[in-house]
Structure 1
Amino acid sequence: MLRPSQIILSYAKKKYVLIGLLALTLLLLISLVLYLTLFRQPYQADKTVQNTETKPSISQEKETNKASNCPGNTLEIGDWTDYFNTNLGFWVIYPKALSCSETSNGVVFSNKSKDEDKFVGIKILVEETKDTQSLENFLDKKYTLSQYPDYQSRKPEMEKIEIGGETGLILRIGVQLRIEERERIAWVKKGNKIYEFTAYNIGHTGSTGYSEESARIVDQILASFRFIEAITPVDLAETSDWPLYRNSKYNYGLKYPKALAEATSVEKSDNPDTDHFNIFREHQIQLEVQIQDPLRYQNPYPYDAKRLINLNNRIGYLTIDEPWSKRLVIKNKDFWYILSFRDGHYPPVRTNFYPSQQEFGKVFYQILSTFKFL
């Protein structure tokens, strides 16, 4: 049987062993914290600095774009609809199932999933540059070797691609440019603007690249992409003495050349499929304005138009662009407005008002420049 002194000694030994184990555990925890602080933090800090120089984080984008804030759509094509931005100058289609959120320099389409494996995200961003600077030169200056080694090493994989009628560049296999891992990315230049298209992921861990669904969608967006051009510049001083026509029923107005005269009601064609029809003409040179209900008029598809034109911050579809025949279609509220300017002579016959081919196009754009919705 143990004496009291032996029992006390036994408890004391156990106490010191327990204290020793606790001290060892604490030492290991301190060592781990020091390792993470000294070796991991600088890398993360450098990475964060590089990211903030080019683009806010996806989490920041989500905070500023919590709800869909895109304008109303004009077309529905199966499970896809369209988005356009006249300020940034482009039109695309995207799946109706995705949310659409505008930013100050572009638009984001996503399913807003918080699961990286299920997330679908596409961004279109627009950045201004010098008009004389080539696309390749712009990218080399932006993605330098010191800050973006992955981009520079992947340049041999770059492919040329047609985007909106212009020659662009694409990296089909993902490249790391921001915190998101492995973006599929493409660029195209138009005038002084660079358009960037990205299939991306949430990227909080950097372990998951863009999904196959995102890649498929961004490829279809690239195929559908159209530029919205500014109206061809013309001298409006020449229109200062043109007659002004206003229509309060259909809320539009325009000026037309003095040589043309508005047709009488008897002279106007009777067209039962047209809500409104008016002609301004001089012999066979005619300016026609038709207004039709969408239920009786097949919408023009932007990718079938010769050009998309920004007319009063709406898309004008230039569906005919021949030397002696021009037609532009534009929608306002519940109606389609069709403006046609043509020479009905064949072959052309010189009259009191007979512009050359170059002047004919100029007069058409002068008329468009005076066209307004009231």
Structure 2
Amino acid sequence: MKQPPDSTLRGRGASSAPPHRYARLAREPFDDGWAQEEEASPAPPTEVRWEEARSAITANRSPDLGFDRSLNPYRGCEHGCAYCYARPMHAWLDLSPGLDFERIIIARRHLAERLREELARPSYRPAPIALGTATDAWQPVERKLGLTRAVLEVLAEARHPWSVVTKGSGILRDLDLIAPMAASGLCEVYVTLTTLDAELARRLEPRAASPRRRLEVIAALAQAGVPVGVSLAPQIPFLTEDMEAVLTAAAEAGAVGAFMSILRLPHELEGIFDDWLQRHFPERRERILARLRELHGGALDGPFGARFRGQGPWAELLAQRFAIARRRVGLDRPLPPLAVHLFRPPAKRAGEPVQQALF
């Protein structure tokens, strides 16, 4: 696709598909004189590619994360968040972490069946499963494909605990499954809300729900009895500056907990986010990148164990500010622990409904 370097694609976070770190060839965009200077190009269509799921649960050994197992129905994410730390994972598929990440979505066929098999093994020991840790489990394609819902059906049958962080309002379509599980202490939800500034959110997270809609999601989950918190992740210096207002609004909507993280830019994400800054906030670009380097010890990504927290005086000040603001609105308590003792292995053969109906 031929695009001038400074073009903006409507509805997309990235403007181009830069080569990934394993690529042998590199292509550079150029301006052939036909682009309209002040007119955003139409968004390239989303393409879904199917991948046969060989397994469902992924083990986690990172000291930065608070769970030991996760499950991802999709690779790539239509939300198009300019800051997404999962973008470099598309390089493993020989795809660009830029535009390809939000345009080419890998859907994992028969994922629910693999999960059923793994939970039914005699050796399996239950612990909370984190859903959608790489890419959002309720991104737009979920409405059509229903892979996350199929997974929830297996987890509900097995009475297996799970948690999720999402910015997709589609989670409300599955409240009929989620609310009964929440009543048994089997699930918890965090809704990501980086800012209340609708214009900033539209640029930063172009296909995600608006800040107002995410507050409505928090309220609906809370009213349904689902333990819900708010995720202020990531915090971007000189850009997401309304932390206190976000926490106040989330608490008023019904959130009972909160956490945050600091932006990190691993691998190709450094260039992708830099390009986004040049297109949207060129006057703040140098200040933002300089402060990120201060937060990560001179780099744009921190070492294991401190990748999301940052280090140094600025990281400590941000953590103190968050702690004070969170305590002021009553969001400084952890969500209730999830029930593990209710687990029962699911039947070995899947029932008819969702997955078979898809194909």
What band does the TM-score fall into relative to the shorter chain?
A: under 0.3
Normalised TM-score (structure 2): 0.22
Structure number with the bigger relative contact order (C-alpha 8 A, sep ≥ 6) is 2
Give TM-score, length-normalised by structure 1.
0.21
Higher strand share: 1
User: Which has a greater percent of helix?
Assistant: 2
